[in-house]
A and B are shown apart, each in its own frame.
Chain A
């Protein structure tokens, strides 16, 4: 990750107004720099990469599975945004995936992670157009996937079920409408 780094995310966890203000300012600066970078590579993006970038809100998506067979890497997600669609992202790899498995201090290896942040990066490979999708997960894992093509498929979930609100205990019912 070049912008939404684990260090910046860990800084967001600092407590107190001053520390939070500083972390927010650093985050906003990273957002601005990333958006500027994206504008420079958008013209080179194939439609599928633009769809990956613009078509889905991946933050807080539940990671259902992730794995590789040969030059294909597949990530299966359940999106956080209603109606909690299932999304399968299939990458045609252009290189070896890098998978950092350093956990955040509070995370445990057994817990299914959520998707936190991602970045798209253009890389040079002769005349071939290649990109890298870098992802930071809620357990601290970082995945860096060089790819030459990507495809997405969505489905309405049968399982895991769409999220339905659990009832709030009656004693805590809203006091006004």
Chain B
């Protein structure tokens, strides 16, 4: 039995394989640093890419959320690179707190703010209602 590799498998075909699960999408949110001992990042309203770049241009924080570390990191890098030359920092809890997130920020130190991103173990905090 042969199959045409240019055609999708027929429905019900014995050779059909389940489609790979789509990567969960990243979402971008307004963000702010939490005060206190957590070192965490509080996520706010969901925003689009353009708004995220605009927030970073005025030195406010944003955070990229989702279950896919690489997708989060790529999205965060794209946001920060749209603002200017950037650097990346990784946290350690002693220096930034147990819930601190990795982030991109501008190379020029006088430009405030960060583009944070979630990892598998480090998540943004939701504001208490």
Contact = CB atoms under 8 A, between A and B. Distances in A.
A95 B33 CA distance: 37
B54 A12 contact: no
Nearest to A105: B107
Given A138-B109, A163-B112, A166-B60, A57 B50 contact: no
A166 B87 CA distance: 22
A101 to B, nearest CB: 16
B2 interface: no
Given A34-B94, A114-B109, A116-B89, A174 B45 contact: yes
Interface of B: 30, 32-35, 39, 45-48, 50-51, 54-55, 58-60, 70, 73-74, 85, 87-97, 100, 102, 105, 107-110, 112, 114
A174 B39 contact: no
Main secondary structure, interface of A, reads: loop
B56 to A, nearest CB: 10
Nearest to A163: B112
Given A34-B94, A166-B60, A12 B50 contact: no
A53 to B, nearest CB: 6
A172 B54 contact: yes
Interface stretch (A64-72, A75-83, A121-129): A75-83
A43 interface: no
A113 interface: yes
A53 B39 contact: no
A117 interface: yes
Contacts of B48: 175
B70 A106 contact: no
Contact of B55 (A62, A107, A138, A168): A168
Contact of A111 (B39, B54, B96, B109): B109
A167 B95 contact: no
A139 B107 CA distance: 9
Nearest to A54: B94
A24 B90 contact: yes
Interface in A128-164: 138-139, 163
Nearest to A12: B88
Contacts of A9: 89
Contacts of B93: 31, 35
Contact of A80 (B33, B60, B73, B94): B33
B120 to A, nearest CB: 11
Interface centre among B30, B51, B95, B97 (most CB of A within 10 A): B95
B109 A112 contact: yes
A12 B89 contact: yes
A106 B94 contact: no
A87 interface: no
Interface in A19-45: 20-21, 23-24, 27-28, 31, 34-35, 38
